[in-house]
Structure 1
Amino acid sequence: MLQLAGVTKAYGGRLALDGVSFSVRPGRLTGFVGGNGAGKTTAMRIVLGVLSKDAGTVTLDGAEVTASDRRRFGYMPEERGLYPKMKVLEHIVYLSRLHGFSNADATARARALLDQLGLGERLDDRVETLSLGNQQRAQIAAALVHDPEVLILDEPFSGLDPLAVDVVAGVLQERAAAGAAVLFSSHQLDVVERLCDDLVIIAAGTIRAAGPRDELRATHSARRFELVAASDTAWLAGQPGVTVLQADGGYAVFDVDSDDTAQAVLRRAVAQGDVASFAPQHPTLAQIFKEVIQ
């Protein structure tokens, strides 16, 4: 398990990270979200040793991360980092060779990975001739080709169309299922919500929420319900302990002040006529994000 504990980083008099603590567990996808300048990239670069920290620890399986450990990491920066004049296949083979694989093994790995990422027909094209989306796929291949135990990706879905997002998401899920600890940042909250097992939300250099996605949704869930009934739901506005958020004929979304109030609403709805649905509403990641960064 990769773990940050109390990590602090300042630039001049400005704190970029202030006591940042969170974990990235093997076999799980951890989504790392926050606005521009929140501290995501700084935290990732400290994990990778690209930046030094002012305080705190970064550990892998309980021991301080070393340069040797980082050879087992895979990293994809947000900025393009490939050599534009190299051909796609030879570039990924070259990077694999740097990790100690033989030419034959490196070539086999690179071909299989590029094919999986949808670049099987572009192996002999120069990187600079690829679209931005295909360059992104090639950069992901560069991070994955040595089968890293820890994978850190900064905006891996940037510039990808919906089909390409699904391809990359499938590859990352496969790596996590094989035991890799995967940390990825993204501004595409719908993708993060669909893909991640765990979630870390950062704002102004501090962690505002962290933990399993479903637990966070439960923790930040208000007593909010959706009612779909055959009769008009206008009566909800006068129900004690109920705050109506949306009402349109037989459809309503509302908050209640207690479980007893929810049950009272359900009883009255049934008394009014047929009830097609009465269920709690769970917040989306976007709603949780807005709540915790305020």
Structure 2
Amino acid sequence: MTAGPASSDVLVVDGVVRRFGKLTAVDGVSFRVAPGETYGLLGPNGAGKTTTISMVAGLVRADAGTVRVMGEAVGPDKIAVRRHIGLVPQDLAIYPELTARENLTFFGRLQGLERRDLTRRVGEVLELVGLDERADGATKEFSGGMKRRLNIGVGLLHRPALLILDEPTVGVDPQSRNAILTSVEALSVEGMAVLYTTHYMEEAERLCDRIAIIDSGRIQAEGTRDELVRLTGGIDHVRLTGSGDVDAAAAALGDLRAVERVDADGQVLLLTVRDASSAVASLVTGATGAGMSLSDVEISRPNLESVFLHLTGKALRD
């Protein structure tokens, strides 16, 4: 897939390839991320997400293709460009014996922030990641989710143009996970470009302005959530539950143009329907007209899991 032109993009990845022996982990990946945009790489473990962001962060050299951040080439030997990049890896990179404030102050000094700006910036970051009330508590006493949020804070300190988040919610409880996602949602307010990798479709749907579905080292499709869902052909699933003449209702609904398939299961009809929101009135009318008394109508719209299955023939978490 080739990205289109856009001179103002923070990140431009063009045809990157990375091999490990005979294994091609990333195979011609291209995409762009604009200022204030959260761009998601969605795929199962082993799809090539972490290798891709390792090349974007300059930790791993691409065997082919190029990566540019703020117009500057990225690579292991390109030190200056790293001032534009904040990397939040899966593994925690904080000191448990220090407080949250002390951790941020330590890393801020390593990043070259001057004392006056550093004090102000530490306060801003603590508030942004929701740790301002626990700023002076020992990090070793933090929950897993709080440690993850502090890890994100370290990556934010130097105001990078691009923040890279690699599976930031792995291994945390649902409450902590929601707090992390809330913190990430606030980043676009600062105009920061965010590259977010995940294998959780609900995270991609919630956070990302655009999403690339990646599998076997290649981008299979890219677009907004709605653009990707349209790749399934607009097929929805409708569940009609009731009593009466279910078989007659199945026969009647099967003749409707919008209905692709009808399966009867006891007192339930399972329908595959094109654009169910427009067809639901005719479905209800057809079923009741054929002698079925309805007690429940449930519509399931396609999601990113459906798109992944449609594109790759396997489930997202396979």
| TM-score, scaled relative to structure 1 | 0.84
- Report the CA distance between 1:229 and its aligned residue: 8.3
- Residue of structure 1 in register with 2:221 after alignment: 209
Distance 1:246 1:216, change over 3 A: farther
Instruction: State whether structure 2 residue 52 is matched by structure 1 residue 52.
Output: no
Does the 8 A contact of 1:202 with 1:209 survive in 2?
A: yes
Instruction: State whether structure 2 residue 116 is matched by structure 1 residue 98.
Output: no
- Partner deviation per Cα, 1:155-203 (whole Å, 9 max, x = no partner): 1122333333333222222211332111111233222222222111211
RMSD of aligned Cα (Å): 3.4
Distance 1:164 1:41 in 2: 23
Identity %, equivalent residues: 33
- Residue of structure 1 in register with 2:271 after alignment: 253
List runs of 5+ in structure 2 lacking aligned partners.
1-8, 314-318
- Report the CA distance between 1:272 and its aligned residue: 4.8
Q: How does 1:94-173 map to 2 (within 5 A)?
A: 94-173=106-185
Q: How does 1:1-294 map to 2 (within 5 A)?
A: 1=9, 2-60=11-69, 64-65=73-74, 67-226=79-238, 234-235=247-248, 237-238=250-251, 239-240=254-255, 242-244=260-262, 249=267, 252-255=270-273, 268-269=286-287, 271-272=289-290, 281-294=300-313
Distance 1:124 1:227, change over 3 A: closer
Equivalent residues, number: 294
Distance 2:85 2:179 in 1: 22
- Report the CA distance between 1:270 and its aligned residue: 7.1
Distance 1:108 1:243 in 2: 61
SS in 1 for 2:29: strand
Specify the code of the residue in structure 1 equivalent to 2:261: T
Specify the code of the residue in structure 1 equivalent to 2:44: G
Specify the code of the residue in structure 2 equivalent to 1:39: G
Does the 8 A contact of 2:26 with 2:218 survive in 1?
A: yes
Distance 1:123 1:265, change over 3 A: closer
| TM-score, scaled relative to structure 2 | 0.78
Distance 1:161 1:245, change over 3 A: farther
List runs of 5+ in structure 1 lacking aligned partners.
none
- Report the CA distance between 1:279 and its aligned residue: 9.4
Distance 2:274 2:123 in 1: 56
- Report the CA distance between 1:247 and its aligned residue: 5.9
